[in-house]
A = this chain, B = another copy of it.
Amino acid sequence: MTQRTHLGKRRKVIDGLEKITGRAMYTADLSIAGMVHARPVLSLYPHAHIQGIDARAALAVPGVIAVLTGHDLNHGRIAHSRPSMLLALDEVMFAGQPVAVVVASSEAAAADAAALLDIDYATLESVDDAAQAMQDTLHVWPQGVPSAGASMASLHGGEAGPGGGTSVSNIDERRVFERGDVSAALQNAHVVIDRSYGTSWIHQSYLEPHAVVAEPGRRPGQVTVYTSTQGQYTVRSEVATALGLRERDVRVEPMTVGGGFGAKYGILDALVAAVALHLRRPVRLVLSRSEDMLTTMPAPGTAIRVRLGADAEGRITALDVHAMIENGVFRFGHAGIIATVIGGMYRCEHVRIETLEVLTNRAPTGAYRAPGVPQALFALESSVDELARVLGHDPLELRYLNAVEAGDLTGTGHPWPGIGLKACLERAREHPIWRKRQERPHEGVGLAIGGWPGAFSPAGAVCRVEPDGTVRLHLGSVDISGVHSSMVLIAADTLGVDPDVVEIVQGTTDSGPFAPGSGGSQVTISVGGAVLDASTQVRDQLLDLAAHEFEAHRDDVELVGGSARVKGVPGPGLTIGKLAQLGQRLAGGPGPVVAEGRAAIKAGAPGFTVQLMRVHVDPDTGLVTPLEAVSVQDVGFALNPMLVEGQMQGARPRASVSACTRECTSRAAL
Which A residues have a C-beta under 8 Å from some C-beta of B?
18, 23-25, 31-35, 218-219, 237, 240, 246-248, 456-460, 462, 464, 466-468, 470, 472, 474, 503, 505, 510-514, 530, 583-592, 594-596, 598-603
> What separation, in Å, do the CA atoms of A462 and B594 have in the docked complex?
10
Chain A interface SS verdict (over half): loop
Contact of A510 among B472, B588, B599 (CB under 8 A): B472
The answer to whether B460 and A586 have CB atoms under 8 Å apart is no
Q: List 7 extra interface pairs beyond A240-B468, A458-B587, A512-B594, CB under 8 A.
A: A23-B218, A246-B470, A247-B468, A456-B587, A459-B591, A462-B596, A474-B512
Of B459, B464, B510, B585, the residue contacting A512 (CB under 8 A) is: B464
Tell me whether A594 and B511 are in contact (CB under 8 A). no
B25 touches A460 (CB 8 A): no
Set B248, B457, B596: member contacting A594, Cβ < 8 A = B596
Closest to A245 in B: B468
- Complex Cα spacing A240 to B466, Å: 13
A-B contact pairs, 21 of them (CB 8 A): A23-B218, A24-B218, A25-B218, A33-B35, A246-B470, A248-B472, A248-B503, A458-B583, A458-B585, A474-B511, A505-B510, A511-B511, A512-B594, A513-B592, A513-B594, A588-B600, A590-B598, A591-B600, A594-B598, A595-B596, A596-B596
Supposing A460-B592, A592-B458, A600-B587 touch, asked if A511 and B505 sit within 8 A by C-beta, the answer is yes
Contact A219 B23, beta carbon cutoff 8 Å:
yes
* Cβ-closest 9 pairs across A and B: A591-B598, A31-B33, A514-B592, A247-B468, A596-B596, A248-B470, A588-B602, A591-B600, A458-B591
- With A and B bound together, what is the CA distance between A346 and B512 in angstroms? 51
Contacts of A591 in B (CB 8 A): 458-460, 530, 598-600
> Which residue among A32, A247, A458 has the maximum number of chain B CB atoms within 10 Å of its CB?
A458
List chain B residues, Cβ under 8 A from A32.
32-33
Could you tell me if A594 and B514 are in contact, using CB atoms closer than 8 angstroms? yes
Q: A584 with B514: in contact, given A218-B23, A458-B592 (CB under 8 Å)?
A: yes
Interface centre among A472, A505, A585, A598 (most CB of B within 10 A): A598
A591 to B457, CA, bound (A): 9
Select which of B247, B530, B585 is within 8 A of A457 by beta carbon: B585
Chain B residues near A458: list those with CB within 8 A.
583-587, 589, 591-592
- Chain B residues positioned under 8 Å from A24 (CB to CB): 218
Distance (whole angstroms) from the CB of A306 to the closest CB of chain B: 33
Docked CA distance A247–B219 (Å): 33
Q: Which residues of B sit under 8 angstroms from A585, Cβ to Cβ? A: 457-458
Min C-beta distance of A223 to chain B, whole Å = 14
User: A32–B32 Cα gap in the complex (Å)?
Assistant: 6
From B248, B590, B594, B599, contact of A466 by CB (8 A): B248
